[in-house]
Amino acid sequence: MNTSRSKVLRTIRWVSWGLIAVLSTVLAVLWAQVRFSTEAEAKPYATPFQLTDQNGATVTERELLGKPSAWFYGFTHCPDVCPTALAEMAQVLKELGPEADKLRVVFVSVDPARDTPAILKDYVAYFDERIVALTGEERQLQQMTKARYIFYKKVGDGDSYEMDHTAGIQLVRADGRFFGTLDSHENADVKLQKVRRLIGE
């Protein structure tokens, strides 16, 4: 009687240990999948936002996914860095010819107090009418730029303040994954090659 009961107990113990082992393995595998998949396939550009484009239309992250894109963050009271970046992107679109359909170029103004959609419309059209210009509520902009590792900060007061801002252009895959950056110091050839690689993926 005693022996048979201890046999049962031993079986239960073995089975329990076995179950614990199996469960731990399953949990470890699940944890690793979640952990490493978020790292390898993070989609910062698929995180939600709601802004307004140069035509006054509401735009969310969804409208700007689906094809590769190039993003620049700046402001129109910027005399050299911003117009130079936009002129370079306009040149890239021109160089791409018909292939330019595969790329979306987006300019986000981080200075919504001064850059209204109407101002942005004329401003970007001067460089290339295909460029999408966005701006919106401060809260939305902060949330969006944080998710995309973009820095910006208002410097100074009154009417003549400046904006410090990330100078590089971010290249983004169609599904929102990060592809790379166009550095402001790179020459036009390198930039064009990177864009060609992005749209050729």
Partner 1 sequence: MRILITALLLLLPTSVLAHEFKAGSLLIDHPKIVETPPGAKVAAGYLTVVNSGEGEDRLLAIESTTISRVEMHASTITDGVARMKQLESGLPIPAGKSASLGDEGTHAMFMDLTRQLKAGEKIEAVLAFEKAGRVPVVFNVEKRSAQKVERHEHQ
**Residues at the interface with partner 1 (CB under 8 A):** 74, 76-81, 83-84, 87-88, 91, 114, 118-127, 151, 155, 160, 162, 164-168, 183-185, 187-189, 192
Residue whose CB is less far from partner 1, 47 or 84: 84
| Dihedral of alpha carbons 93, 52, 44, 30, sign | negative
Residue whose CB is less far from partner 1, 1 or 156: 156
Residue whose CB is less far from partner 1, 45 or 123: 123
Task: Indicate the Cα dihedral angle 52, 54, 56, 61, nearest 10°.
Answer: -30
In the complex, least distance from residue 57 CB atom to partner 1, rounded to whole angstroms: 19
In the complex, least distance from residue 187 CB atom to partner 1, rounded to whole angstroms: 6
Residue whose CB is less far from partner 1, 46 or 81: 81
| DSSP secondary structure code for residue 185 in this structure | T
R_g (Cα) of the chain, nearest Å: 25
In the complex, least distance from residue 85 CB atom to partner 1, rounded to whole angstroms: 9
Greatest pairwise CA separation for the chain in angstroms: 94
In the complex, least distance from residue 184 CB atom to partner 1, rounded to whole angstroms: 6
| DSSP secondary structure code for residue 19 in this structure | H
How far are the Cα atoms of 56, 104, 187 from residue 193, in angstroms, in the given order?
33, 16, 10
Residue whose CB is less far from partner 1, 59 or 131: 131
Tell me the three state secondary structure of residue 182: strand
How far apart are the C-alpha atoms of 200 and 52, rounded to whole Å?
Answer: 29
Q: What are phi and psi of 112, to 5 degrees?
A: -65, -25
In the complex, least distance from residue 33 CB atom to partner 1, rounded to whole angstroms: 33
